[in-house]
Amino acid sequence: MTGRSQASAGELLELVRSGRATTRGALQQATGLSRATVGQRLDRLFRAGWLREGAGGPVDSPLGGRPSITLEFDDEHAVVLAADLDTRHARAAVLTLTGEILAEHSGTLVIEDGPDAVLGELGRWFAELLEKAGLRAQSVCGIGLAVPGPVDSETGRVVQPPMMPGWDGYDIRGRLARSFTEHTGAGPVPVLVDNDANLMAYGEQRTGHPHCSAFVLVKVSTGIGAGVVVDGSIYRGIDGGAGDIGHIRVGAEALCRCGSYGCLAAVASGGAVARRLAEGGVSAASGSDVRDLLAAGHPEAVGLAREAGRQVGDVLATVVTLLNPGVLMIAGDLAGTAFLTGVRELLYQRALPRSTAHLDVVTSRLGERAGLVGAGALVVEYLYAPERAEERLLAMGV
């Protein structure tokens, strides 16, 4: 906080949302504000519809008395829209402000068709989802989008994405906001864009591993990428390039989609496994095809997935040594037993015992919804952060 005596309504909201102070008395103690000032600032949050009173808490005084009324973030005053794009498939949803999915849709959406067509179609999906959920478009407070490429978080634009031809530098935020308005008739809302592995990691860490201060998720699908969450925040690097482990050179001669030879993604991604299966006469064109073959126990697919896991595990030994995470999560199309076995074989063989002594190597808990949950959480944390919340309250005239 900027100062105990200067705590804003937005900062009081943050204390309530985080659970650090959930009664009027606790807010006074945490901020140093007077009872009257706390009451005035809470009144603004109540008028905005952002807070509600919950059940009475325990009586703090040994002399008894009335229990303190607890304060809760009211997650029913708005909803969030989220979408997760893959190379040939997409998923979209309406979520509550606490991450519960109210309506969901998935289907074919080919990223090579270009941003104008893809984002235009997403706007139509959003309109249909709101109708399905029985919600007004005016209840939407923001949109989150996960994309399979590096994103400059300041601008929301992808930067030289190997798997997104025609998207480099495109105004994704503006186009998706316009598409939402065109299909729903509602006014513009904020749009936030981030890399899919980042948002999967954010969603998984917040819901399943909130106390893990260093969390790494590796998505292995058509490509390979990693998301890193440190002390509850996504680590993006200088311009969104952190976690792009699919383009680490591993010494092979295979040509990668980025134009270089020997990238990890060129030999160990779902796309690479699909290509090797196709060369052997097996029908497979993408990571999702490999996933289906693995689910069916196809022996050649299982063998190649384990080999791919070993190649990824070799690289992850360096990642684990560098970041010393508490949780390493494997997600995506290849995230099954065969691949995970391969990862563990090389990871524990190559990494120092100290780096893995307190490491949990796990698979995704949220599955295909991880990116949606992370995208929704990104929007909520942005809109209700203290400074932004204060700006919004002033704009609302409360």
State how far the alpha carbon of 146 is from the alpha carbons of 86, 107, 153, 220, in Å.
9, 15, 12, 15
> How much is the pLDDT for 395?
94
Instruction: Count other C-beta atoms under 10 Å from residue 208's C-beta.
Output: 16
> How much is the pLDDT for 222?
86
Q: How many Å apart are CA 149 and CA 84, to the nearest integer?
A: 12
Q: How many Å apart are CA 51 and CA 13, to the nearest integer?
A: 8
State how far the alpha carbon of 59 is from the alpha carbons of 3, 12, 19, 65, in Å.
29, 22, 18, 7
Instruction: Count other C-beta atoms under 10 Å from residue 349's C-beta.
Output: 11
- Please say whether the beta carbons of 144 and 375 come within 8 A: yes
Q: Which token pair is 205?
A: 């860490």
Q: How many Å apart are CA 168 and CA 162, to the nearest integer?
A: 9
Give the helix ranges, DSSP H, for the chain. Answer: 9-18, 24-31, 35-48, 115-133, 172-184, 196-208, 264-268, 270-279, 287-295, 299-323, 337-350, 353-356, 370-383, 386-396
> How much is the pLDDT for 65?
52
Q: What is the pLDDT along the chain (398 residues), one digit of tens a residue?
A: 444 458 999 999 999 999 999 999 999 999 999 999 999 999 999 999 999 998 765 555 454 555 679 999 999 999 999 999 998 899 999 999 999 999 999 999 999 999 999 999 999 999 999 999 999 999 999 999 999 999 998 999 999 998 899 999 999 999 999 999 999 999 999 999 999 999 999 999 999 999 999 999 999 998 999 999 999 999 999 888 899 999 999 977 889 988 899 999 999 999 999 999 999 999 998 888 999 999 999 999 999 999 999 999 999 999 999 999 999 999 999 999 999 999 999 999 999 999 999 999 999 999 999 999 999 999 999 999 999 999 999 999 99
Q: Record the pTM.
A: 0.92
Chain Cα centroid distance, residue 378:
7
Per the listing, tokens 């304060």 go with 71
- Please say whether the beta carbons of 148 and 371 come within 8 A: no
Nearest alpha carbon to residue 81 among 120, 154, 137, 121: 137
DSSP codes joined into one string, 335-384:
-SHHHHHHHHHHHHHHS-HHHHTT-EEEE-SSGGGHHHHHHHHHHHHHHT
State how far the alpha carbon of 218 is from the alpha carbons of 84, 151, 328, 336, in Å.
16, 17, 8, 13
Q: How many Å apart are CA 95 and CA 82, to the nearest integer?
A: 7
Beta bridge partners of 218: 226, 330
State how far the alpha carbon of 244 is from the alpha carbons of 9, 220, 223, 241, 388, in Å.
39, 12, 10, 6, 30
Q: How many Å apart are CA 374 and CA 380, to the nearest integer?
A: 10
Nearest alpha carbon to residue 267 among 246, 288, 297: 246
> In this structure, what DSSP letter does residue 4 have?
G
> How much is the pLDDT for 64?
52
- Please say whether the beta carbons of 270 and 334 come within 8 A: yes
Residue 73: phi and psi, rounded to 5, are: -70, 125
> How much is the pLDDT for 5?
53
Q: How many CA atoms lie within 13 A of 75 on its CB side?
A: 15
Nearest alpha carbon to residue 73 among 109, 128, 21: 21
